[in-house]
Structure 1
Amino acid sequence: MHDIRFIRDEPDLFDRGLARRGVAPRAQHILALDAERRSTQTRVQEIQQRRNEASKAIGQAKSRGEDAGPAIAEVARLKEEMPRLEAREAELAAELDALLAELPNLPADDVPDGASEADNVEMRRFGERPAFNHEAREHFDLGEALGLMDFQAAARLSGSRFVVLKGQLARLERALAAFMLDIHTGEFGYVEVQPPLLVRDEAVFGTGQLPKFGDDLFRTTNGFWLIPTAEVPLTNLAADQIHDLAALPLRFTAYTPCFRSEAGAAGRDTRGMLRQHQFGKVELVSIVGDDQSDAEHERMTSAAETVLQRLGLHYRVMALSTGDMGFSARRTYDLEVWLPGQGAFREISSCSTCGDFQARRMKARYRAAGERGTRFVHTLNGSGLAIGRTLIAILENYQRADGLVTVPDALRPYLGGIEVIGAPAGAAA
């Protein structure tokens, strides 16, 4: 949600920010609605004051034995006018709120301009691409050949964009979640949370998925939303509260299933596990003071990078352009891991700072010691990492010519010492 006072003070700057995101100017329309709403509010207050004065005049006229008719008539007229003005004020407020709720966050000054992902800017790389003496295979070929990845069974159960993982791959997914959570809680100070997977409208509105992106979500018949990411419940832990600055930052992490309809992804990544309706993800969320968010963004990105580095995976960090950022983001860094089977980098984490955009929607504030007023917190979120895509990256980067997959050293303690995925129990690596 945008600050109406900023739009009043800097309408041209607001419109320039929208233009960078490919959105037509809105400031003048917003200010016209705002001016009419404020004028109507003033008129309602004036009428209320005049009603009080006229009602008092009625009593005074009667006590003096004078004709109270004119004052009685004025009160009756004002009483009829008041509901109409109050209704108009409510209508204008709702229209203004709806318009502000549908506009994306303004990009930070250092975000590269562009229309799409083609305009993203590479910031840095880590590691080297693996060298194979065989043709690299994609993850679904490897998983199906091992009998541990079953898309046909999933289709019989649920339709397309689902998978059944079995045996060592199911265990690998569980191991990855534990490995990531241990890093984020033990080394970066995030508090592990097990949040609800079903949330109300207010929670999804607070993080910016509603009202614009309802088609991307799944909804139950009794009005709950299945979370598209743990960002939704974790960020809303700060909603409708005033926090002490001394208690910030708040840092939360969670491993949850995530559910997305992929409404806009028809025909994209139809094979394999890259884009599914249900997938696991370790999420990172930070709630900070308004002067801490830029530093926290770098810190969060570093936490996500640490996971990739420990797994020995080649990746690059991309600064997303204005045309590729998410709705609520002020700045986003994507981590893209190298997938040899595809011969391409693919997103495995997206770390964003949202400024006070989500906090205004959630009414999440903080108060510094000695200050009477409050400020809106700043919120950040990131993947630390997407579990399914990390599993894909391990399969493709650690594949062997014989179709088996070497387990990265860092994961072996989480897999009971298993060194090779697909090898019979007790077989030599």
Structure 2
Amino acid sequence: MELGMQLVQQQALKLAMTQEMRQAITLLQLTAPELKEYLQQQELENPMMELKEKSSPRTGSGSREAEFLDFQAAPEATLQEELASQLRMMSLEASLLRQCLLVVEMVDDNGYLTPGTPPDWEEEKWESAVAGVQQLEPAGVGARSLRECLQLQLERHFPEEAGARLIASDYLEALAEAATPEELAERSGLSVSASARAAGIIQQLQPKPGAAYGSSRAEYILPEVYIEPSENGWDVFLNDTALPEMYVSREYQLIEQEADGDAKAYLKRKREQFEWIKSCVQRRQETLLQVTKELVRRQERMLSEGADQAVPLTLKMVAEALHIHESTVSRATVKKYAQTPKGILELKSFFHSGLKSGHTVHSVKKRIIEEIEAENRGKPLSDDKMASRLHAEGIAVSRRTVAKYRTEAGIPSSSARKKQRR
């Protein structure tokens, strides 16, 4: 009997710890406005909990003059919640499900995969996870460019329309500039009727597949961290007005001391709940500050000189430096913003994938754009020739990688560029 009671108590403790850990994880990934709303709801439900708004931020720093960037009311279900729900209903292996859920966290409100660095996975695993997300509804979600977004929708809804796929792939600029089907036909090589049909189909597509979704609440975007230059490098500190101060209610503390029986047990439980929430919030703030300081330490040149000076930096690199899990770094940075001398930046923008040559994806894309802008207009550079030029500079990329980066930059193929310039 005694052993049975011990097992029941152990199971109850394990369940409670699991629920508490879930709560801690949830609070870490919430934005400051979302967390503030959560705390206000907890205050209504917990008599032992009191909140007090903090005073206005210190003045004198131009970078702190305007904290709130945007305000947007949106439908009840968020796009990310909808995508995560679809994934959990699919029969995916646990590892692939986790990877797809991380990809979902990198999808913005318009349905596009945010630019920046994918997690530190092998390219094959990353592309598999992205492909998994791109199979979800709405069609086009998880795309990395407008071209890819339209192609995904055409493959899903108009698989037989080769003309529309050709226009979406190679002649989007021509479609935007052409006043008539005849002009589009001349530039694309399709017949006039095929051009008209393709244009009509593409006009039915959704350039922002996530636009029907949004935040389930009125969402403010504000910096939670300040990054400012100093004599010794950079100062990093939290926006101490983003969240209210939390107190134990003095009134109900006195009531708890005088109460007995069920009333005393109830107030004790509520006080413990408050203490746990407060510790979770403190841990969230400590993690956010810790991660941001590491990002700044790694990307000092990016902050002082611009994005093209960023060095390769991944979730794994930060996680290993801080001895925490990659998912913790991801949750601490998604939809979190910092006020910097370069403006307000999302913490995710500090991550940049690196190539074996040590160059970042951003810098390679910049070189591709520069080469194309300077190319012979009558003899545009093919992706093969571009890869060869980059190899000569010590940038080891394949033709497929060049094609991928060129497409993501919204640049047509060499044959399409040649036709456009005739």
TM-score normalized by the length of structure 2: 0.24
The structure whose Rg is larger is: 1
| Structure with higher strand content | 1
TM-score normalized by the length of structure 1: 0.24
| Structure with higher helix content | 2
